[in-house]
Structure 1
């Protein structure tokens, strides 16, 4: 009996959470963490890499990780924007 009540309560919680997230999305509210890579940092990174500075130094200078740098500017040199 208690297990079925707990299961019902859990499904109600899930339903209310999904409804809240949908409402927030409709209202234009963003969820999650803000991106570390801004358009200014992206331009600076591209400029620094073209000048011959190592990716590790570029990442340190811009206070991002090397993985973040490569996510936005892969080894192929193609820049991704979002």
Structure 2
């Protein structure tokens, strides 16, 4: 997966998290649940970035840069 695609996913995840936080401000009864959802989306964004950079700094990725992350993980386990 290329860097632009990863950044687009991260933008989307963080936008969704922002919407949950905004909604929480206007719905006090559901506030805790909504903020929990926002936290999950933020965690997904961070995980996406971490996985991308971990893959970019791995020698297997340098040999096969066309691989997406799931295929990369399969090769890393097999190696």
Pairwise TM-score range, normalised by the shorter structure: 0.3 to 0.5
Higher helix share: 2
Instruction: Normalising by structure 1, report the TM-score.
Output: 0.36
Instruction: Normalising by structure 2, report the TM-score.
Output: 0.38
Per chain length, whose mean CA-contact separation is higher, i.e. which structure has more relative contact order (CA < 8 Å, sep 6+)? 2
Give 1 or 2 for the bigger CA radius of gyration.
Answer: 1
